[in-house]
Amino acid sequence: MEKIINIDWLSFFCQCGDIVNFDNYTLELKDYGTQIFEKMADVVRYNEVVAIVLWQPRSAILPKDSAMIKIKNRQLYNEKWYQIFTDIQKNWFCHDIKISRIDICADFLTFKNGLHPKTLISNFLTQKFVKVGRGTFKVMGNQKKYINYQYLRFGSGASDISAYLYNKSAEMREERDKPYIRELWQNLKNSNNNDVWRLEFSLKGKSLKIVDTIQGNFVIDSFKSLTNKEVIANIYSFMVKKYFSFVIPECQKNKSRWQKLQLFNDEDCHFKIVDFRLKSDTTKKHKIFLTNLVALEKEMRALKSYARDIIQCVAMDYAEEHNLIDYVERKKQLVKHFD
């Protein structure tokens, strides 16, 4: 089976100097900001919007020089995004850069051995296929003469990792067509013009700390590493095996011995998600800081996901650093509206 792997979303949080026009980049300032940032602008290069930037935080909780930058979708597919990132980093003096979210996807017609995505969804719902692991899921579709499944999601908006299987062709017909994606689909053997499906993983927080257990290094150790197609393919393979793995039920009770459902060609992968960070001591002021983040987040429900990611990125990172993950979990309202 053929599949095309790409980065579909990339946003990062940073601290920087003056956000101004430079070289061939100009800012088209919006008349509005967000509840988190006073200013928001499109970043335009050669008459094309290549990124969105939000800056000047309203709350004193965030550093005054904080900014959130999202690379536009088209740039991720034409492979110009890294040059845009380095230009912005250099000219705006960006530092303490942290990825807030990255989505990696694969487009294909069927899984291995001709298994259609609709069949996988149907068999999962009827327990002919059993997903490895526990968690929440959501299914969408429509009913005419038959039930037509179009979407399966594992994980919630508060999850560090979410997996989405959906009909990408149908989405672009019904919502917004993207010719630059259709152009890539020409590499698929689709003489019958069948719908293209997508399996996508959204990573944020701890899920970005992927380690190569043989080399002993973080896989995403820099933005440059994300330009390596082999690295992206290996991350994707790891995500499939760990977060979108199914088995076929058998008579024996030991589920670990049930036959594994092979969705793609087996690829050797020796990755693991770990956290090497040393923990700091916890004090009352750290809890107060997180409590303030809770209060701030309550006012953010109407924001787009890339803006809300800022609160999650800061809160969860701070909680990890100060041994307050359990504290955050007890404060369910902190993560309730991160979706």
DSSP 215-265: TTEESS-STGGGG-HHHHHHHHHHHHHHHS-EEE--SSS-GGGSEEP--S-
User: Are residues 149 and 256 both part of a single domain?
Assistant: yes
Q: Which residue has the higher pLDDT, 307 or 29?
A: 29
- The span from the CA of 5 to the CA of 43, in Å, is 26
| Cβ contacts of 164 within 8 Å, gap of 6 or more | 151, 152, 153, 198, 199, 200, 201, 202
Q: Which residues are registered as beta bridge partners of 69?
A: 12, 53
Asked if residue 205 is part of any domain, the answer here is yes
- 256 belongs to a structural domain: yes
Residue after which a domain boundary falls, among 222, 246, 273: 273
The pLDDT of residue 274 is 72
Is pLDDT above 80 for 23? yes
Measured between alpha carbons, how far is 182 from 196 in angstroms, rounded to an integer?
Answer: 10
Domain that holds residue 329: 284-336
205 and 291 assigned to the same domain: no
Residues 288, 308 share a domain: yes
* Secondary structure class of 4 (helix, strand, coil): strand
HSE value, Cβ hemisphere, 13 Å, CA-based, for 241: 15
Same domain, 118 and 266: yes
Q: Write out pLDDT tens, residues 260-307.
A: 999 998 666 778 777 655 455 556 666 666 666 655 555 555 555 655
Q: What confidence category does residue 126 fall into, taking pLDDT thresholds of 50, 70 and 90?
A: very high
Q: What are phi and psi of 297, to 5 degrees?
A: -65, -30
- On whether both 181 and 265 belong to a single domain, the answer is yes
Instruction: Kindly state whether residue 9 falls inside one of the protein's structural domains.
Output: no
Residue of 107, 118, 116 whose CA lies nearest to 183: 107
Q: Residue 331 pLDDT > 60, yes or no?
A: no
CA distance 242 to 257: 17
260 and 114 in one domain?
Answer: yes
What is the secondary structure of 277-296 as a DSSP string?
PPPPPP-HHHHHHHHHHHHH
Q: What is the mean pLDDT of the chain?
A: 84
- Candidates 199, 185, 173; CA nearest to 117 is 199
Q: How many domains does the chain have?
A: 3
Shared domain check, 127 and 197: yes
Question: In the prediction, which pLDDT does 76 show?
Answer: 96
What count of other Cβ atoms lies within 10 Å of the Cβ of residue 247? 16
**pTM (whole model) above 0.85:** no
pLDDT tens across 193-203, in order? 999 999 999 99
Provide mean pLDDT across the span 101-118: 94
What pLDDT, on the 0 to 100 scale, is given for residue 318?
63
Residue 6 within any structural domain of the chain = no
| One domain for residues 124 and 268 | yes
Write down the pLDDT at residue 265.
Answer: 83
Residues 130, 84 share a domain: no
Do 112 and 165 fall within a single domain?
yes
Is there a single domain that holds both residue 53 and residue 193? no
In a domain, 8, yes or no: no
Residues 177 and 120 in one domain: yes
Token digits of residue 329? 């979990």
> Is pLDDT of 259 > 60?
yes
Tell me if 3 is assigned to some domain.
no
Final residue of a domain: which of 273, 298, 321? Answer: 273
> 257: left (phi > 0), else alpha (psi -120 to 50), else beta?
alpha
Q: Is residue 208 part of a domain?
A: yes
**Distance (Å) of CA 283 to CA 56, 93, 202, 314, 324:** 29, 33, 33, 18, 10
Q: Indicate the helix (H) or strand (E) that contains 122.
A: helix 117-125
244/236 Cα distance (integer angstroms) = 11
- Looking at 250, 273, 296, the residue that finishes a domain is 273
Q: Which residues have C-beta within 8 Å of that of residue 191, sequence separation ≥ 6?
A: none
Note whether residue 194 is domain-resident.
Answer: yes
